[in-house]
């Protein structure tokens, strides 16, 4: 687990640090203070600079080029200039993210390089079709301990990172930490699609981990007895592919009929089981959830993070979410604070950390720490 993360040159974070991190960390702060950027930076760090993670980050934010969508979805491009402070794509522009714990240091550096000056025969990571080499002028250079060597990923002439190129660079043999990257996940405010969840669900269906998912769904609807997947999620919309069975109801029905809260809890529970030994990042964790289930949600996340050895980072704007976090905080921190709140403020270079004791005190005295 990381005990501190330093970010330089990433989006609006020209220089920023979060310290005294625990196993479960909740980021709070005003709109546009940088909470999501801190989450993304941690996700990039945890994945070891995975190019596919960079593509997914931009894609989630809609950072694409204007114009008609491509006839080839796998070639869709994102505009990586927005990953850098100032939103400019110039040679030498870079960002770095460093994480530290008691025994090691991990660093990811991403920079814009001059691709036109490189000899393609000396770069085994390059895509070498003739049209690409003549049209492209810049590339992403990624350095990380998880790479056998630095990666050079060509950008399109307009500065785009294609999905196919990102996934190709993300695959072995170029990466040493592919298993680690697979255990690092980011859940956005939209949660995950049916297709994505079914892929993860297939790994836990009919295993003991299935009980965790049922427990999570019962926080939203205590009458749920069973859950099963069917077909392909995309065939039934973004929230399709799952059936649930309620007590005293003869027939199962689509999980999507239960609303946003059930889908959010399904996503949280399934992905927690997939992060063993890794990290989970959740943007606006309480999205779709009523305040009455938030304490149970935190107990579930805390217990699962211990069981699967996961470090969790989440963000919120909700007072109820902050207040309910206190229910998993200990009165004694002799072994160090396992749960923290990190207040992100755009005019300060360092987040303000709150320990478990401080979180409990704030909740008891109704002190505002957002």
Using one digit for the tens of pLDDT, what is the confidence trace for 207-255?
999 999 999 999 999 999 999 988 654 555 677 889 999 998 999 999 9
CA–CA distance, 108 with 124 (Å, rounded to integer): 21
CA–CA distance, 215 with 266 (Å, rounded to integer): 10
CA–CA distance, 313 with 24 (Å, rounded to integer): 6
Predicted local confidence at residue 234, as pLDDT: 52
- In the chain, DSSP assigns E strands to 4-8, 16-18, 24-28, 77-79, 94-100, 105-114, 138-143, 151-154, 160-162, 184-187, 224-229, 242-246, 253-254, 279-282, 311-315, 339-343, 352-354
Predicted local confidence at residue 73, as pLDDT: 53
CA–CA distance, 23 with 27 (Å, rounded to integer): 13
- Per-residue confidence band for 370, with pLDDT thresholds at 50, 70 and 90: confident
Predicted local confidence at residue 275, as pLDDT: 95
- Residue 144 reports pLDDT greater than 60: yes
From residue 341, alpha-carbon distances to 80, 126, 151, 344 in Å are 30, 42, 35, 10
**Whether the Cβ atoms of residue 3 and residue 102 lie closer than 8 Å to each other:** yes
Span 47-56, average pLDDT: 92
CA–CA distance, 18 with 280 (Å, rounded to integer): 16
- Residue 196 reports pLDDT greater than 60: yes
Predicted local confidence at residue 133, as pLDDT: 45
| Domain boundaries defined on the chain | 49-176, 190-274
Using one digit for the tens of pLDDT, what is the confidence trace for 171-193?
755 454 555 567 999 999 999 88
Predicted local confidence at residue 54, as pLDDT: 95
Using one digit for the tens of pLDDT, what is the confidence trace for 64-104?
887 545 555 556 899 999 999 999 889 999 999 999 987 78
What is the separation of C-alpha 167 from the centre of its chain, rounded to a whole number of angstroms?
17
Using one digit for the tens of pLDDT, what is the confidence trace for 7-34?
999 999 999 999 999 999 999 999 999 9
pTM: 0.89
> Kind and range of the H or E element at 200?
helix 194-204
């Amino acid at each position: 687990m990381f005990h501190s993360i330093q970010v330089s040159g990433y989006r609006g974070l020209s220089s920023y640090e979060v310290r005294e991190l625990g196993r479960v960390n909740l980021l709070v702060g005003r709109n546009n203070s940088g909470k999501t950027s801190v989450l993304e930076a941690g996700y990039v760090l945890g994945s070891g600079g995975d190019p596919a993670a960079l593509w997914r980050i931009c894609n989630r934010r809609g950072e694409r080029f204007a114009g008609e969508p491509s006839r080839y979805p796998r070639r869709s491009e994102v505009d990586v200039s927005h990953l850098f402070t100032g939103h400019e794509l110039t040679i030498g522009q870079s960002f770095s993210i460093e994480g530290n714990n008691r025994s090691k240091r991990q660093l990811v550096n991403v920079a814009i390089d001059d691709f036109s000056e490189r000899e393609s025969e000396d770069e085994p990571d390059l895509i070498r079709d003739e049209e690409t080499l003549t049209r492209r002028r810049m590339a992403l250079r990624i350095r990380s301990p998880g790479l056998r060597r630095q990666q050079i990923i060509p950008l399109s002439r307009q500065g785009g990172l294609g999905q196919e190129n990102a996934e190709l660079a993300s695959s072995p043999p170029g990466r040493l930490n592919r298993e680690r990257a697979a255990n690092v996940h980011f859940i956005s405010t939209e949660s995950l699609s049916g297709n994505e969840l079914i892929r993860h669900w297939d790994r836990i269906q009919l295993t003991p981990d299935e009980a965790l998912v049922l427990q999570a769904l019962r926080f939203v609807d205590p009458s749920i007895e069973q859950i099963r997947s069917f077909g392909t999620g995309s065939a039934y919309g973004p929230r399709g592919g799952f059936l649930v069975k309620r007590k005293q109801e003869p027939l199962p029905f689509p999980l999507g009929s239960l609303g946003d809260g059930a889908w959010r809890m399904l996503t949280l529970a399934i992905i927690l089981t997939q992060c063993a030994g890794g990290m989970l990042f959740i943007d606006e964790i309480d999205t779709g959830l009523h305040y009455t289930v938030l304490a149970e949600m935190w107990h579930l996340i805390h217990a699962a993070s211990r069981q699967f050895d996961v470090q969790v980072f989440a963000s919120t704007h909700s007072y109820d979410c902050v207040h309910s976090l206190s229910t998993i905080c200990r009165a004694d921190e002799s072994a160090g604070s396992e749960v923290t709140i990190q207040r992100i403020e755009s005019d300060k270079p360092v987040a303000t950390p709150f320990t478990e004791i401080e979180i409990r005190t704030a909740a008891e005295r109704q002190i505002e720490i957002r």
